[in-house]
Amino acid sequence: TSHVKITLEAMDGARLDGIAFRAADTALGDFLLNGRGQTMHLAGTLSLDHWQGSPRVQFRVLDAAKAP
């Protein structure tokens, strides 16, 4: 698969699954995979994913940058 899956965590501890389609072996994919634990700015959209019959909200990452 060429997708990068991540878990987003807000400062209050809330979590949300995220995915960047066709991001493996790209600058975006590398940034997401190597940015664990860092504060980031993310651009994307929310979508409803139906996986194994269960609907869940996920964030589709379109771009990301390190937060100052």
pLDDT digit string, tens, across residues 5-47: 999 999 899 999 999 999 999 999 999 999 988 999 999 999 9
Contacts of 65 (CB under 8 A, 6+ apart): 40, 41
In the prediction, which pLDDT does 1 show?
A: 63
Distance CA(25)–CA(45), nearest Å, equals 22
pTM: 0.85
